[in-house]
Structure 1
Amino acid sequence: MWKKFILLLALDQVSKYLIEIKYSDLLVKNFGSAFSIPIPQEILIIIAVLISSWAIWSYYENNTTESFTYLILAGAIGNLIDRLRLGYVIDFINLQVWPVFNFADIYITFAVLLIIKEELIQKNGK
């Protein structure tokens, strides 16, 4: 699990670094949360730390799926590193039909989809 987490976190951080130094015209500084919703940085940092702590605890205590854990951790910590280092999150993937995002956002989205899937499976008894 930890190797996958490190690999995903590295992909997120290296991609942001390359955008920052080579393709800065693609870079969007996101001072808010998802969809650039304005929330103070301090609150977002606390939320990232709490979610990361909960994910690790849940993995060891409640047998949360490995995939969920490394995805949510890589996403939360990837964006947390940006916030602590820069004061904003680097977004750069622009599909023109959705707000600009990054790999950490993709990881978080997939983690949420995994939670929904697991809940639906449990609810339907399958």
Structure 2
Amino acid sequence: MPVLLLALIVFLSDQISKLLVRQWLQPNQSVPVLNNIFHLTYINNPGAAFGIFAYQTPLFIILTLAVIGIIIIAYKQFPIHNRLNLKLALALQLGGALGNLLDRIRFGYVVDFLDFRVWPVFNLADVAIVLGVGLIIWELWRKEEKGEAQ
């Protein structure tokens, strides 16, 4: 149950932050938080990471649904009952995937707003997904280092 709770927290945080951005900023508006370091920049991203494959919304919806299915299967099938990092990773990925999926279904694009000026603009769902992937990589690296059997 804590996995679902974390996924829900990620999802709600993502959606609330995007709602606030849509209410307070105009599309393409940028507000410096730390000048030339971090800005809030409201972008409607119709593509995937870095805006690639723009306007392929049906494809992204199908792929996201497949990823969500894989996350659910992984949680049910893999022996992760004692692996907190993997549970957290799957919860972060699930919450992030659901957040961006809802944007694509509702708007046909994803709302991005975190802008560090040296990287394309992204959102909290993206952060959660990347952290989830990072936790999985970390756990696999630790498992390999300990010499645990697959």
Report the TM-score range of the alignment, normalised by the length of the smaller protein.
over 0.9
User: Secondary structure of the equivalent of 1:27?
Assistant: strand
CA distance in 2, matches of 1:75, 1:11: 10
Aligned to 1:12: 14
Q: What are the ranges of 5 or more consecutive residues in structure 2 without an aligned counterpart?
A: 30-40, 81-85
**Percent same amino acid at aligned positions?**
34
CA RMSD across the alignment:
1.3
Among residues 112, 132, 138, which one is paired with 1:111 in the alignment? Answer: 132
Q: Secondary structure at the match of 1:29?
A: strand
Letter in 2 for 1:114: L
Between stretches 25-34 and 83-92, larger displacement belongs to 25-34
**Which residue does the alignment assign to 1:87?**
108
TM-score by length of 2: 0.79
Q: How much has 1:115 moved relative to structure 2?
A: 1.6
Of structures 1 and 2, the larger Rg is shown by 2
Rounded Cα–Cα distance in structure 2 between residues aligned with 1:125 and 1:47: 34
What residue identity is the alignment partner of 2:61?
I
Matches within 5 A, 1:1-126: 1-24=3-26, 25=29, 26-38=41-53, 40-64=56-80, 65-125=86-146
Tell me how many residue pairs correspond in the alignment. Answer: 126
**4+ residue stretches of structure 1 with deviation over 6 A?**
none
Deviation track 1:13-61 (CA, whole Å, cap 9, x = no partner) reads 0000010011222310111101111151111111110111111111121
Q: Which letter does structure 2 place at the counterpart of 1:61?
A: Q
Q: Give 2:102's aligned amino acid.
A: I
| Shift of residue 8, structure 1, vs aligned partner | 1.1
CA distance in 1, matches of 2:49, 2:79: 28
Letter in 1 for 2:43: V
Give the secondary-structure state (helix, strand or coil) at the position aligned to 2:118. Answer: coil
